[in-house]
Structure 1
Amino acid sequence: MDVFGSSGVRGVVGDGLTPAFVGRIASAAGETLGAETVALARDTRTTGRMLADVAAGTLASIGADVDRLGVLPTPGVQAYADRHGVPAVMITASHNPPAYNGVKLIGDDGVEFPKPTLERIEDRLSEGDEGGVGYASVGRSRSVTDADDAYVRELLDTLEAEGRRDRIAGADLTVALDPGHGAGCLTSPGFFRELGCRVVTVNAQPDGHFPGRDPEPLAANLSDLRRLVRASDADVGIAHDGDADRAIFVDEEGRHVDGEASFAALAAAELDAGDAFVSAVNVSQRLVDVVETAGAEVALTPIGSTHLITRIRELRSSGRSVPIAGEGNGGVFFPEFRIARDGAYTAARVLDLLVDRPASEIAADYGEYVTRRRNLEYGDPEECEAMLSAAESYAQWADAELTTIDGYRLDYGDGWVLVRPSGTEPLVRLYAEARQDDRAEALLEAIYEAIANDA
């Protein structure tokens, strides 16, 4: 049984993800963990309150008290879990379209559960006995109204302890912010103002219909933010996904900054010789270049936060330094802060870089590669298998170095291409990267045609 995938449970509500299934997950998690208290939060999706109500009732039915945090970014929930020493259930589908929702499980240290714990919960789920306690032992539910403020205060305190808060405040930066109608609407505007920035916003009203743009902060979805940056003469634009654990940027000229470029800039500022850098199999060559220049070491994993977290923990437990990790989609880990992606904290670390140089210059340093992406949608598992089989056949005949950590990655020397199934949607994802746009497009088109024709 593989319920949790690479980043929790996700699906279209009413078609694969039902209230009853969410209840079963909550029950299995509660029974497995045996915690006296569990925190519960959600993002802004229209189905979030319904599913949170189901999870809260189920947890209470097995005897757990429930701290209901309301709408809160995932990193805010993680901060609460760590601060109070309680596990948490987050109802979110992160960057997925509005019809989706999901469940993410967080440990009492504020970190998503590693694979072995998730497997124990899956085993409990497969047993089918959801248990329950007598009326005298039913758990209590209480509303927590200050979790968002406490999260922002913790971020500010961390940046102050690192010596970054005063640097950022002294730079008199203007930030254009697009929380995308997600949970970041409740925390990020105030956070950046408290950092001493002038803040202008777009799509900053919490709305689970996501009327201004889709939750995923892709370049195609950020036209409003790019216009706002130009109109407000902002130093940078910042966009979040639905649960605000990611941050994507627009430079001061209103141009999209590739997530791999901002990630590379952050990595270059963090890595020293002997460090380990953890990223997924779709890592950009520009990150590999940064790691090699620093004298650090790349550790690759399958795509998804669960795999990254597991590898970070393994390396740190063996005494290795892992100052930064993540993926080029805006999801960055700073493990010394917390082994969790945090869009607001990541953005603050980019603001710290902007004290010395404008965003366009920073992006230019790491803009020598072009990335292209495409998706193939499938209707059933058999169709997915046919697509992957076609990709495997193509890979076997390709004049390239093959990596099969997660799907099929082909490295050609002057570029690479990757085919893998999505862990959260019925899609096979295709990625290509090269120094020239036409080469990246040619790599992508070739494998796309092979899969489309042969599957």
Structure 2
Amino acid sequence: MSVHQNAGKLSDHQALINVPQLISAYYLLEPDLEANENERVAFGTSGHRGSSLTVSFNESHILAITQAICDYRKLNNITGPLFLGKDTHALSEPAFNSALEVLVANQVEVKIQENNGFTPTPLISHAILSYNQSDECQTNGDLADGIVVTPSHNPPQDGGFKYNATNGGPADTNITNWIENRANQLLAEDLVAVEIMPFSAAIRSGFVETIDYVDAYVNDLANIINIDAIKQANISIGVDPMGGSGIEVWKAIQKKYSLSITIVNDKVDPTFAFMPLDKDGKIRMDCSSPYAMANLLTLKDDFDIAVANDPDFDRHGIVTRTAGLLNPNHYLAVAIDYLYRNRNWPTNLNIGKTLVSSAMIDKVATSLNRNITEVPVGFKWFVDGLAKSELGFGGEESAGASFLRKNGKVWTTDKDGIILALLAAEILAVTHQDPGQYYLHLVDNFGQPKYRRLDVPCNTSQRRLLKQLSTEHVAAKELAGEPILSIETHASGNGASIGGLKVVTENGWFAARPSGTENVYKIYLESFISDAHLGLIEQEAKRLIQNVFDAAD
């Protein structure tokens, strides 16, 4: 995809979303499941997402999903409180209110941020785990779970709705499939089985408790981050919350620990008018994109470390004076190497990575004498490993990760952009190298990988075929001049289906998987030889996939 001519620049005012229109559509437009399958509830790797303007995220969807979650709780005897949070997208507010109306009508005890505040994703996970490990829960056995109303880094017109299970992390496929099917059944039956209480009555019902998620999370940070080292080194940190839900968290961190933190943008605006356009000319709060991060990049020399988070704060963007915006794969490798060398963790803790993350992580793991647990795309695959302290770290190439406390116990089982941002400052304070400099030492030891991710057009039937591939579909013996060592359709770490395939040689690999919503397949490529070798992998990977498509015609 070519770079849009306005990438990195602010949007024209007339191109911004019309918030009243968006909210009106949320309440006025009704999905027709028979006429348009795109108007059904569909849980992807991070919950249900859509827009009210395309009738894919409307009041009926949220009422149905929330009732389905209530039904799931009853079926599985989940009787503890539900922690409910929202981010700063325009559709998050009405969806939050709709969910509350259904939850209370089902007599679910709901805990929300005081003063109608926003709640980052990692704070919800932290709250669920803290409650479920508490004496109160251990005594009564009433486990808690949660809902986060967020489409993450998606454009301003989108809404999102994610269920976090009693293990604190994004619900696994078995749970989300059940919720998705039940929600669509409720929609097909005109919501007759949905229990609902008017918001004004629900908020006074006694089932809603306001709490301070922020203090509980911030007060615990010293148990996972070396705050003292950051403070003693007087590391200056510039923070761009990108108009997201964690502005108050960063303020509380600065106040609690007296760190040198400067919030460079404190605007909360559902149009996200302050955001530079992404590569494709759309507003997208993607803290791994140099175009979306243009504002912070202009300030990189003003701070020792500059960081950003997406609207629900589950992702991180790290900017250094020496490297600018770090490639997410580079920072994952740095974070893993640093943590496993500087934490007194058990020696049997594995390293979690998705199969589309850089092989630099594998090389780091070998040098640390640690095993890799490689899983399909989606943070949900790391949840059990983090919860059971079997993984010390779990991370995705899309700039989302979490890791264990200093004592080797679970912190969150969802992505946490705040601790990954603070870790960058800790690395500089302890090693006197910023993460960009640290990565260069890894390159000296293991080589310089060339990595690329792109979208390739395909049709619906081809998407379906790619998702169902087996190793027998691939006849090639070589890739870019090297013998193929493995062809994988299931992840080596847990045996789960990739929903595509991965082909590996000694010095390179590619993985291909279909998009869940668009007529494209995503292809990920890496070479430890050269840009030219990476280009050969791309050409031959596309040809290999096309041969599979042609053979099926």
- TM bucket normalised to smaller: 0.7 to 0.9
Instruction: Indicate if the aligned counterparts of 1:11 and 1:425 stay in contact, CA closer than 8 A.
Output: no
Match of 1:281 in 2: 355
Aligned: 1:439 with 2:528: no
Deviations 1:285-338 (A, max 9, x none): 11000111111111111100112224555xx4xxx7421122232211214223
**Does structure 1 residue 357 correspond to structure 2 residue 432?**
yes
What is the distance in 2 between the residues matched to 1:107 and 1:390? 30
Distance 2:437 2:255 in 1: 24
Equivalent in 232, 240, 249 of residue 178 of structure 1: 240
Aligned pairs for 1:55-454 (under 5 A) are 55-69=99-113, 70-85=117-132, 86-122=144-180, 124-125=182-183, 127-128=185-186, 131=193, 140=206, 142=208, 144=210, 146-155=212-221, 157-159=222-224, 164-192=226-254, 194-211=256-273, 212-213=275-276, 214-217=284-287, 218-230=289-301, 232=302, 234-253=303-322, 255-271=324-340, 273-310=347-384, 312=386, 316=388, 321-335=390-404, 336=409, 337-355=411-429, 356-359=431-434, 360-367=436-443, 368-376=448-456, 381-382=460-461, 384-385=463-464, 395-397=474-476, 399=478, 400=484, 401-405=486-490, 406=498, 407-423=500-516, 427-435=520-528, 436-448=530-542
Residue 481 (structure 2) aligns with: none
Q: Find the partner of 2:66 among 1, 26, 35.
A: 26
Q: Output one character per residue of 1:29-88: Cα deviation in whole Å (capped at 9) or x when no partner.
A: 012213364232111101111111111112122222433324111011222333445322
Name the SS for the 1:17 alignment partner.
coil
The 8 Å contact of residues 182 and 207 in structure 1, kept in 2 or not, is answered as no
Amino acid at match of 1:333: S
Partner of 1:42: 86
| Comparing 69-78 and 320-329, the one that deviates more | 320-329
User: How far did 1:452 drift?
Assistant: 7.6
Superposition deviation, residue 23 in structure 1: 1.2
Separation in structure 1 between the aligned mates of residue 180 and residue 321 of structure 2, nearest angstrom? 47
Closer/same/farther in 2, CA of residues 53 and 363 from structure 1, 3 Å limit: same
> Are the counterparts in 1 of residues 514 and 521 from structure 2 also a CA contact under 8 Å?
yes
Provide the secondary structure at the position in 2 that maps to 1:216.
coil
> 2: CA distance between counterparts of 1:93 and 1:354?
32
Once the two structures are TM-superposed, the CA of residue 423 in structure 1 deviates from its matched residue by: 4.9
The amino acid across from 1:61 in the alignment is A
Q: Aligned to 1:299, what secondary structure does the other structure show?
A: strand
Count, aligned residues: 443
- Structure 2 length-normalised TM: 0.72
CA–CA distance in 1 between the matches of 2:41 and 2:60? 18
Percent identical across equivalent pairs?
A: 19
Q: Which runs of 5+ in 2 are unaligned?
A: 1-39, 133-143, 277-283, 341-345, 479-483, 491-497
Distance in 2 (CA, whole Å) between partners of 1:300 and 1:126 is 33
Q: Does 1:13 align with 2:52?
A: yes
User: Per the alignment, in what secondary structure is the counterpart of residue 373 of structure 1?
Assistant: strand
Q: How has the CA–CA distance of structure 1 residues 134 and 120 changed in structure 2, closer, same or farther, with 3 Å as cutoff?
A: closer
3-state DSSP of counterpart to 1:148:
helix
Q: CA deviation at 1:201?
A: 3.6
Question: What is the identity, as a one-letter code, of the residue corresponding to 1:404?
Answer: T
Do the aligned partners of 1:333 and 1:341 also contact (CA within 8 Å) in 2? Answer: yes
Higher-Rg member (1/2): 2
In structure 2, how many angstroms separate the alpha carbons of the residues matched to 1:78 and 1:52?
Answer: 17
Query: 3-state SS of the aligned residue for 1:253?
Result: coil
Output one character per residue of 1:230-278: Cα deviation in whole Å (capped at 9) or x when no partner: 2x1x111212122111212112235221212221122113337543122
Cα distance in 1 between the residues matched to 2:255 and 2:242: 18
Q: CA RMSD in A?
A: 3.2
Give unmatched runs, 5+ long, in structure 1: none
Q: Distance in 1 between matches of 2:471 and 2:455?
A: 17
Q: Deviations over 1:76-128 (max 9, x none)?
A: 12223334453221111112222322111123453333344434434543553
Which stretch shows the higher mean deviation, 360-369 or 391-400? 391-400
Shift of 1:25: 0.8
Deviates more, 1:259-268 or 1:45-54: 259-268
Give 1:12 shift: 3.1
